[in-house]
Structure 1
């Protein structure tokens, strides 16, 4: 039997792992491609692993030239990248270096944690209001039989988010909608559909990862402008985004299942980094004016216009579907002041954020990816829920605790963390609330955080 031969015009290197020849095309007059050029006997040039990414090799005598164009090289930072601008706590000295896992705690230690949790949540509103709404922009899609069960669940959530935005009067002209953790950009897409007859709107889609199957190409409306910002929210300075700086539209921060600490980073990005700077820019000393009737009237008119401008806050509203409290981080958490006010600190926060997973997986003895969020995470979409191991969730230690009690404890942990976010927003002049925006059968992560500026009183 004749030995196998490479395909004509293809590399002669046999890839043992794949049991076939390499299919790359070699240079004219060569038997091997660039990657396997070291196999060429007549070729005395040495290939070495690329120092930026050892998964590929490069000719040693061309290394410097390669490093300038290698796809793994560090890309220039965008103008709106400001290192750790939204990170929060700079001094991490108060955070213990090593945290003991839940499963390593004794029964007494866990019981003490639960006592602290119940004491801290005593007096909080435990029964959130149901605000399950819809929006006409999604009626056609919701009634399309071609959509499967998973797609239908996403559409119901998006419809309710838009319904809540409409109720808060956030769907209107002259707005910049910033979708944090945008993924494919589906939420912005439906906001655009809802505002198809509205002018002067802008969309910024913030996503640190490169995303496949984006829906950006569907936006062909004449006035709406879509722009993607590939940056971690931790380093995003909205004041330096050129298009936002130029238009200066009031912004509406939105997100569908903004994972863990990303919610805290987004809140700080909006109400600290952006709103504070915008308000500071407007604080200019009044110009002196000569005293005559015409100038007095002009000055009065100008003052009225300025008051009207002051009524339009830089951040018009925030609507974020919360998710993955087990991925929160004390360093970034915006509710640290509230935690400390009820006698809690980074140690308790660490355990409560781990215990929060009991609310969504505490009922499952064998953890499976049954929710649509887990399905879509595997399919690289915008959802971020992940299954948890028994050790992570503390099942081994709490086997004696009833399932319903585990769920209740997990729900209290989530509520406590979210209440810290509400307090943070209230202290900065926002009317902030939590509500159930969809049924638990649609998504186990069914809490929506909304915030609008408190009306100013004259």
Structure 2
């Protein structure tokens, strides 16, 4: 702060000025700064720390998942503090629960014409090229599922700079009636929003935590009732589960309720006819609604998953596991990717440091950061053992998500969408309504 003309001190330290008897007190909204006591009421109305009005689509904890806090276990001891027997028992439980699951995923590394020019740009650094390859494959998988079409609203969860939505927009440059909602709880620098020049595509940012996002109350969806395609590139841990709940539970449920109409009263003799008519009407309403056309999310950071938000809790319980095992498995999942590189991570390029959705958060840790973990498990597990256990933990957590989607009427799958050399987090979750309203590819 700059002192006023003729003053020695700025406003923050003005009480130290000789002859200044005005008292400054800590702001009750944020004690990190002070305010003149006689101007407190005026300051509270404009203080940057005041509570901002909530947007219409903010519904407290609508996607939070588990409401019974009694089911959430107390803080557990670190894995390094477990005895050899306790660790071995955990691994036995993990392997037993994983028995029979599809652990070897199909490789579906695709590309899309929209990114060819960018991919061939010689100015690309290594990091930029890797991000482009991932985005191209995500778009290729969306095209294979026939999700790139008109009359859709693409909701990018954890949008960051909005690059994935940008490339979807480029791929749909000749398509009409396309909307984009970019969901990001943090303010973001270096956004690519300014590159969206088409007048017939609408981009809107929703600055809200996914946990509190009610899609059905977003004005543009409330007005147009467009089918939604949920997308995300490296959506960290619990954010993936919150996004799935947002799409499959809160948005779909709201859409279904809007289409329900009370049945007219009839005599007993008409009951059978009424039941069949109502059933047909409900099916018709569901077909008209089609709230979620598809989900395409590149998964990331399973160690940041949370039992409270995890959508696969019922699956875990069905194989004899609970919150205690889940919390160990989600931490052990990082063994699959964390610090297993032969060389340390190089300094970030400008492209990487600017990109909110880069991959450095979990799986590009420096080698030295994981040596402590290696030391604590020395003599119990080899590096290869830890990698395999980490992969099992990831597949088990992801399988719970697949079962959750299948039970709610989706055809869901996991596939490798890029090489591990491009990203160690290279698994893509896809889902479309089942029986699918989208025709299967002929090739």
* SS in structure 1 of the partner of residue 59 of structure 2: coil
**Alignment partner, residue 259 of structure 1:** 236
**Alignment partner, residue 150 of structure 2:** 173
* SS in structure 2 of the partner of residue 80 of structure 1: coil
Deviation at 1:405, TM superposition (A): 1.3
User: Counterparts of 2:225 and 2:130 in 1: how far apart (Å)?
Assistant: 35
1:353-364 to 2 correspondence within 5 Å?
353-361=330-338, 363=340
TM-score, structure 1 as length reference: 0.86
Question: Structure 1's 327 and 377: CA in aligned 2 closer, same or farther, altered over 3 A?
Answer: farther
User: Counterparts of 2:431 and 2:332 in 1: how far apart (Å)?
Assistant: 27
User: Counterparts of 2:418 and 2:436 in 1: how far apart (Å)?
Assistant: 32
Deviation at 1:376, TM superposition (A): 7.2
TM-score, structure 2 as length reference: 0.89
**Alignment partner, residue 293 of structure 1:** none
1:40-439 to 2 correspondence within 5 Å?
40-285=17-262, 307=284, 310=287, 313-361=290-338, 363=340, 368-369=344-345, 379=354, 381-383=356-358, 385-386=361-362, 387=365, 394-400=373-379, 401-439=381-419
Deviation at 1:398, TM superposition (A): 1.5
Q: Deviations over 1:77-97 (max 9, x none)?
A: 111111110000000212222
Deviation at 1:371, TM superposition (A): 9.7
* SS in structure 2 of the partner of residue 395 of structure 1: helix
Indicate conservation of the 8 Å contact 2:159/2:183, yes or no. yes
User: Counterparts of 1:411 and 1:370 in 2: how far apart (Å)?
Assistant: 25
Indicate conservation of the 8 Å contact 1:356/1:414, yes or no. yes
User: Counterparts of 1:272 and 1:308 in 2: how far apart (Å)?
Assistant: 17
Indicate conservation of the 8 Å contact 1:354/1:392, yes or no. no
Match of 1:448 among 428, 432, 437: 428
User: Counterparts of 1:369 and 1:168 in 2: how far apart (Å)?
Assistant: 35
Deviation at 1:377, TM superposition (A): 7.3
Q: Which runs of 5+ in 2 are unaligned?
A: 266-279, 438-443
Deviation at 1:58, TM superposition (A): 1.2
Q: Deviations over 1:205-228 (max 9, x none)?
A: 000001111111111201100001
**Alignment partner, residue 269 of structure 2:** none
* SS in structure 2 of the partner of residue 202 of structure 1: strand
Indicate conservation of the 8 Å contact 1:354/1:393, yes or no. no
* SS in structure 2 of the partner of residue 199 of structure 1: coil
Indicate conservation of the 8 Å contact 2:339/2:369, yes or no. no
Indicate conservation of the 8 Å contact 1:103/1:392, yes or no. no
* Residues 311-320 or 193-202, more deviating: 311-320
Deviation at 1:286, TM superposition (A): 7.1
Query: Radius of gyration: which is bigger?
Result: 1
* SS in structure 2 of the partner of residue 357 of structure 1: helix
Deviation at 1:47, TM superposition (A): 1.7
Count matched residues.
419
* SS in structure 2 of the partner of residue 356 of structure 1: helix
Stretches of 4+ moved more than 6 A in 1? 374-377
User: Counterparts of 2:14 and 2:241 in 1: how far apart (Å)?
Assistant: 50
Q: Deviations over 1:118-159 (max 9, x none)?
A: 111111111100010000000000000111110000000000
Deviation at 1:51, TM superposition (A): 2.4
Deviation at 1:30, TM superposition (A): 2.8
User: Counterparts of 2:235 and 2:345 in 1: how far apart (Å)?
Assistant: 19
Deviation at 1:49, TM superposition (A): 2.4
Indicate conservation of the 8 Å contact 2:236/2:304, yes or no. yes
Q: Which runs of 5+ in 1 are unaligned?
A: 1-23, 289-302
